[in-house]
Structure 1
Amino acid sequence: MHNLNEELYDKRKKQIQPWLTINSINESDEQEKIKELLRKKANAKIADNCYIASDANIFTSKFYLGENSWIASGSIIRGEVSIGPHCSVNPNAHIAGKVEIGTGCRIASLVSIYGFNHGHSRTDIYIKDQPSTSKGVILGDDVWVGANAIILDGSKIGSHSIVAAGAVVTKSFPEYSIIAGNPAKRLKDRRELPLAKFSLEDKNSELRYHLDMKFNSYISCHDGFFLRGWLLHPELNDILVKTQYSSNTLSINKKRPDVVRTFFKMEEDKQVYIDCGFEHLLEVSDFYSLYAKTPSELIHIADIVMEDMIHEEK
């Protein structure tokens, strides 16, 4: 390649390193032709400020590329593929089948992502003659996939995760995972430990409430357990949280009428519907019991139960 003339050398340099050519005026005419061809032949929807190398191989049945994303030289993309904004697909990566990639992801050189599999349940006929299957692959936001890694059908990688170079991913992993090996395992969590997983046990009190947190997935509890949400009751005095160690009264002066309206259609804007929010930092506990205190009764709303805690890196 170095024996070519300077113009071709510079062009090739940009195809291998597309970050050098984003918003380049010199590339705009060619880029528009590439994008128009892909819209026509590859059922593509391509956002603004994208770059696609002229020798990228895109043969899709459906293709989406988000804004400020780029696809480098030698990449192969086929099947039904969605790549979100601010993503990069580096040289000679291979993405095939049903694949969904979130925002801000980095796909390194020679990565292979396969959102399909060959059927092989029968032994009386060739594998090539059996129908393919497709569960799909999903990458969340802010995922970095290292060089030569392989991600196989049915895998879901949680947001903010790192897949190490050369890893072979055969299953799903939660958010903030660092993943490596063959077959790949979760080495540790990127966040500060400890991490805890909680489940919600609703007490069917018929009170309207909502908790702004994720259940059945790990959250950081390094500084304590942050409980935030809202609760509606026409005679609400206090919201109580009891643990095996203490009883806490939560502040309910957080005004969240717009949030509540997204969950329920309210006929009247009474004060009770305005001063309904709460938030509180609690010590980490095995369980939390949430109560609504009124002038006449104490209503048990729900229990939050710790299912697991990671104290050290795994």
Structure 2
Amino acid sequence: MIFKIFWIIRALIYKAFIGKIGFPSYIGKPVYLGRINRVFIGKKVRIFPGARIEVIDNLSSIVFEDDISVGQNLHIISGGNLIIKTRTTISANVFISNLDHDYKAIEVHILEQPNIIRETLIGENCFIGYGAVIQAGTILGNHCIVGSNSVVRGSFPDYSVIVGAPAKVVKRYNADKKQWEKTNPEGTFI
């Protein structure tokens, strides 16, 4: 418990450099922070140690809204505007991005090819399981559950359970019946 006091002190020190940090947010010892003046952290955001948070240019940003819990070893990189909405929980060893490298010019090293930016948005009250990969171009609706080790790309409706590699919807909340029901991979109730 005492370690959290040090994390709060660290957050107060970062406040001079970071785009915004609300109170009482705290940050465990990170591995790397890149362009943190473009990182915006709301109130009651808890980021555990080992995070690698990168913004690749001064036009891009990462926004953590309020009441977000992030497990150890998060790697998040943004080449556009990446938003994680309120009350989301992210387990350990998760990767989130809104950029890909182009690969079409086979005579050019992939890291020297242009970045492809695709909107990535994580809705309110989502849960992202251990080891998940949220790829560029992913839009998660509100209250989506992403299974451990899933590789996610695409748009997913509110109240979906998403699992696999590649990830597919396996359940959704049926508001009419007030229960979770199995779906086909497109998210239609079975």
Tell me the TM-score normalised to structure 2 length: 0.83
Partner of 1:124: 107
Alpha-carbon distance in 2 for matches of 1:146, 1:27: 24
Change in Cα spacing, 1:47 to 1:177, as seen in structure 2 (3 Å) is same
Change in Cα spacing, 1:59 to 1:29, as seen in structure 2 (3 Å) is same
Identity %: 26
Change in Cα spacing, 1:163 to 1:28, as seen in structure 2 (3 Å) is closer
Change in Cα spacing, 1:28 to 1:136, as seen in structure 2 (3 Å) is same
Q: Secondary structure at the match of 2:168?
A: strand
Q: Indicate yes or no: 2:20 matched with 1:45.
A: yes
Q: Indicate if the aligned counterparts of 1:89 and 1:109 stay in contact, CA closer than 8 A.
A: yes
Q: Deviations over 1:47-89 (max 9, x none)?
A: 1211012335321361111101111100111112111100011
Q: Indicate if the aligned counterparts of 2:30 and 2:52 stay in contact, CA closer than 8 A.
A: no
Tell me the TM-score normalised to structure 1 length: 0.51
Alpha-carbon distance in 2 for matches of 1:50, 1:31: 7
Q: Indicate if the aligned counterparts of 2:8 and 2:27 stay in contact, CA closer than 8 A.
A: no
**Unaligned segments of structure 1, at least 5 residues:** 1-9, 15-20, 194-219, 224-308
Show the 5 A alignment for 1:37-116. Answer: 38-39=17-18, 44-55=19-30, 57-60=32-35, 62-79=38-55, 80-97=61-78, 98=80, 99-116=82-99
Greater Rg, structure 1 or structure 2? 1
**Unaligned segments of structure 2, at least 5 residues:** 56-60, 179-186
Question: How many pairs are equivalent?
Answer: 174
CA RMSD of aligned residues (A): 2.1
Partner of 1:215: none
Q: Indicate if the aligned counterparts of 1:148 and 1:165 stay in contact, CA closer than 8 A.
A: yes
Alpha-carbon distance in 2 for matches of 1:142, 1:148: 18
User: Which has the higher relative contact order, 1 or 2, with Cα contacts under 8 A spaced 6 or more apart?
Assistant: 2
Alpha-carbon distance in 2 for matches of 1:170, 1:70: 25
Show the 5 A alignment for 1:109-258. Answer: 109-189=92-172, 191=173, 193=174, 220-222=175-177
